[in-house]
């Protein structure tokens, strides 16, 4: 299934593919054939990139699941204005990962912010602070947490569906980032983390850890 967020790109690419396919049959030449090959390759990539799989949710009472597919590239202690002392778990999404983000725990949306910034490579740790990003602040009965959607060098479009005061469930669609990017989940300092740097995670299925509250 193709994500609705990708149709703004997939549909024009598909029409371009149709047009150049017809042109290659009517007046074949090297330039048209080369252009058709490029468009065909890009269309296959777009279909693959904008896939939107349905996921079986692996969740227990106090467990937070990964909000995105990717690789854990950083786990660090930090401080947060609202939450105080926290741990930040960073997930890098390459262009080959599913770029859907899901709500990782049954929650209430407290706040949403969008901050403009730079576009460093999402695999760099400074991207967590410097890059353009959206930050969603969630409340639960066990503790609060945040999810950052962070743009990368290629990604220039962050989509977020969270609205303050809404109640959301684990596995709900949180948003989508077009092309390479990064997702940080900010958890309380006493949160028990069950993943390590280098681990590959799957949204809705990999357990990142559990609240101690």
Judge contact between 102 and 204, C-beta under 8 A: yes
Give me the pLDDT at residue 116, please.
79
Provide the CA 62 distance to its chain's centre, in angstroms: 22
Give me the pLDDT at residue 112, please.
92
> Which is the catalytic residue, given 90, 128, 134, 181?
181
Active site residue 196: no
Average model confidence (pLDDT) for the chain?
A: 87
Give me the pLDDT at residue 201, please.
97
Provide the CA 24 distance to its chain's centre, in angstroms: 38
Q: Which residue has the tokens 């079986």?
A: 56
With a CB cutoff of 8 Å and minimum separation 6, the contacts of 18 are: none
Q: Which helix (H) or strand (E) holds 130?
A: helix 127-130
* Best CA proximity match to 105, nearest among 62, 75, 150, 69: 62
Question: pTM for this one?
Answer: 0.83
Judge whether residue 125 has pLDDT over 60: no
């Amino acid at each position: 299934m193709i994500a609705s967020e990708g149709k703004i790109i997939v549909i024009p690419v598909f029409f371009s593919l149709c047009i150049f396919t017809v042109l290659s049959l009517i007046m074949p030449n090297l330039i048209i054939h080369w252009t058709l090959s490029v468009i065909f390759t890009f269309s296959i990539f777009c279909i693959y990139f904008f896939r939107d799989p349905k996921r079986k949710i692996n969740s227990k009472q106090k467990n937070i699941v990964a909000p995105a597919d990717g690789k854990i590239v950083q786990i660090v202690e930090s401080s947060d204005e609202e939450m105080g002392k926290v741990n930040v778990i960073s997930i890098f999404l390459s262009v080959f990962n599913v770029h859907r983000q899901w709500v990782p725990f049954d929650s209430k949306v407290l706040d949403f912010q969008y901050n403009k910034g730079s576009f460093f490579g999402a695999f760099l740790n400074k991207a967590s602070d410097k890059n353009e990003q959206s930050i969603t602040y969630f409340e639960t009965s066990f503790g609060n947490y945040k999810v950052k959607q962070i743009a990368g060098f290629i990604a220039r479009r962050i989509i977020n569906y969270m609205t303050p005061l809404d109640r959301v469930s684990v596995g709900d669609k949180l948003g989508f980032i077009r092309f390479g990017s990064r997702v940080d989940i900010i958890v309380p300092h006493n949160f028990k983390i069950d993943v390590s740097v280098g681990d590959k995670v799957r949204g809705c299925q990999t357990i990142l850890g559990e609240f101690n509250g």
